[in-house]
Structure 1
Amino acid sequence: MSQTFRQPDILEIARAEGKVTVEDLAERFDVTVQTIRRDLTELANAGKLERVHGGAILPSGVTNILYDERRRLNEAGKAAIARACARAIPDGASLFLDIGTTTEAVAHELLDHRNLMVMTNNMNVAQILLANKECDIVVAGGALRRADNGLVGNLTARNIENFKFDYAILGCSALDDDGDLLDFDIQEVVVSQKLLQCSRSTFLVADHSKFQRSAPMRIGSLRDIDQFFTDRPLPAALSESCSAWDTSVHVTG
């Protein structure tokens, strides 16, 4: 396979798995590790991947990955997370579903739940839940962020103050080694922070790719989360911290 055709496949693997390694790619494509290193270097120089020891990850920094690309990233892992999260939500509950591709996956898994009241600042979630005739949908007001159909800002946060949800389902763009939940947009962060105050129980849904990324703004900490649904085991130190904080971790993979 020529380098021209190999690199798009490498990017697809990175989107699906969150990370690629030199050894694994060399075996998959039946080429030398030196050839794969050149591929990864060129993709990194083009800004499409970020080199790490032994391989590469999707790039991170002060701006997020495009929403359509995030939707394609680890779809199977997000679906498994969503199923586990939805099983923890009983019929007859009130909940808030935050912005994010994993929370959208949770919405799909709630279509057979009964007597739900769901508030969301994610227009995509609202559209998904229209298929559930036993779900009352409340859309939070705010400024529409066209990139992902999210409603964000202080107006959205103020609307949330009028509610006390049984459950808040949050996502994040990155999870730091010390357990901090991180994101890119302060207008979204103020909404997520308000949710931590206005919910009886908070669930975080985040796949393993968030362990390998960074973002500049802090939402809160895993110590603020009651249940964390993810698809890979946490790093040992973070797992120990969750135990100390009484944060329940559910690993689907």
Structure 2
Amino acid sequence: MNSNPRQLKLLDVVRGRGSATVEELADQLGVTLQTVRRDVQRLADEGLLARFHGGVRVPSSTIENIAHQQRESLHAAGKAAIARAVASQVPNDCSLIINIGTTTEAIARALMGHTGLRVITNNLNVAAIMSSNPQCEVIVAGGVVRTRDRGIIGEPAVDFIRQFKVDIALIGISGIEADGSLRDFDYREVKVAQTIIEHSREVWLAADHSKFNRPAMVELATLSQIDRLFTDRPPSDPFPALLADAGVRCDIAAN
């Protein structure tokens, strides 16, 4: 999916409110009802919105993520800004673990100018990107390859990660809930991510603004287990207080 800026704004409005009528969206975006209906139809066809009579809402599933190809284009500018901000803070000659996600894949691209990195990953997309940098060593976890996004999951991946202790973990997430829990959809992926956190000296979370207040079924960690959060917009309440209480440094990436 290649959403235009108006459709991305429409998604942001609905996600911020939970639901909205067609009339509210037309007024918010300054476009005609016909334009909103056309955009809503396309976004609903892509599974990004759920329609009801007269309006749309956020899809209610907590058990299944949006498809990888759709996630690549969603908030792409924000993810790119986050990736640049993270890369600017990663020193040369350090060890990293990078997990599954489109934001972490953007970070991998932003790290292509670095030298002396040793990168461990359970993401074949990250491995393919980083292996193009001759100044980096890439180590790939073993396990089951999840075909929809080329992530490596399962107990073999957990056992593999346990061998290491790295300087920085760069992780993505599907949702951050208002109780400070970090959540994802696949318990097998979560087990690998929990092991990554345990075997890293610092944990940096990269999450665009759409991840706040987004529900998912499986708890991965809490904000207290994170050292730094990189996002593309200042988070709304209650997250500033939660981050402060957890001692998490919040970096807002400049677009």
Q: TM-score, normalised by structure 1?
A: 0.85
Partner of 1:20: 13
The 2-side partners of 1:233 and 1:100 are apart by: 21
The 2-side partners of 1:117 and 1:123 are apart by: 15
Contact 2:6–2:29 under 8 Å retained in 1: no
- One-letter amino acid of the counterpart of residue 103, structure 1: T
Partner of 1:202: 203
Partner of 2:115: 114
Contact 1:81–1:252 under 8 Å retained in 2: yes
Partner of 1:178: 179
The 1-side partners of 2:49 and 2:135 are apart by: 43
Question: Matches of residues 35-74 of structure 1 in structure 2 within 5 Å?
Answer: 36=36, 40=40, 48-50=48-50, 56-57=57-58, 60-74=61-75
Contact 2:176–2:182 under 8 Å retained in 1: yes
- One-letter amino acid of the counterpart of residue 169, structure 1: L
TM-align CA RMSD: 2.9
Q: Output one character per residue of 1:36-87: Cα deviation in whole Å (capped at 9) or x when no partner.
A: 47975996699541479x9744664311101100001010000000010111
After superposition, the Cα gap between the structure-2 partners of 1:100 and 1:13, relative to the gap in structure 1 and judged at 3 Å, is farther
The 2-side partners of 1:38 and 1:112 are apart by: 42
User: SS of the residue aligned with 2:212?
Assistant: helix
User: SS of the residue aligned with 2:63?
Assistant: coil
The 1-side partners of 2:230 and 2:224 are apart by: 14
After superposition, the Cα gap between the structure-2 partners of 1:16 and 1:96, relative to the gap in structure 1 and judged at 3 Å, is farther
What is the CA-CA distance between 1:122 and the residue it aligns to? Answer: 0.4
Partner of 1:235: 236
1:220 to 2:221 alignment: yes
Q: Output one character per residue of 1:102-134: Cα deviation in whole Å (capped at 9) or x when no partner.
A: 000000011010100000000000110122111
Partner of 2:165: 164
The 2-side partners of 1:45 and 1:149 are apart by: 24
Contact 1:16–1:74 under 8 Å retained in 2: no
Q: Output one character per residue of 1:80-100: Cα deviation in whole Å (capped at 9) or x when no partner.
A: 000101111100000001000
What is the CA-CA distance between 1:30 and the residue it aligns to? Answer: 3.0
Q: Output one character per residue of 1:165-216: Cα deviation in whole Å (capped at 9) or x when no partner.
A: 1000111111101111100000100001111110000000010111142110
After superposition, the Cα gap between the structure-2 partners of 1:50 and 1:156, relative to the gap in structure 1 and judged at 3 Å, is same
The 1-side partners of 2:111 and 2:234 are apart by: 25
User: SS of the residue aligned with 1:19?
Assistant: helix
Question: Matches of residues 95-134 of structure 1 in structure 2 within 5 Å?
Answer: 95-134=96-135
The 2-side partners of 1:16 and 1:206 are apart by: 18
The 1-side partners of 2:112 and 2:197 are apart by: 25
The alignment of Structure 1 onto Structure 2 pairs a total of residues equal to: 244
Contact 1:227–1:250 under 8 Å retained in 2: yes
The 1-side partners of 2:126 and 2:143 are apart by: 15
User: SS of the residue aligned with 1:127?
Assistant: helix
After superposition, the Cα gap between the structure-2 partners of 1:27 and 1:234, relative to the gap in structure 1 and judged at 3 Å, is closer
After superposition, the Cα gap between the structure-2 partners of 1:136 and 1:17, relative to the gap in structure 1 and judged at 3 Å, is farther
The 2-side partners of 1:17 and 1:153 are apart by: 37
Identical positions, percent: 39
1:211 to 2:204 alignment: no
After superposition, the Cα gap between the structure-2 partners of 1:248 and 1:48, relative to the gap in structure 1 and judged at 3 Å, is closer
Contact 1:19–1:56 under 8 Å retained in 2: no
Contact 2:49–2:56 under 8 Å retained in 1: no
Of residues 118-127 and 227-236 in structure 1, the stretch that sits farther from structure 2 once superposed is 227-236
The 2-side partners of 1:69 and 1:171 are apart by: 16
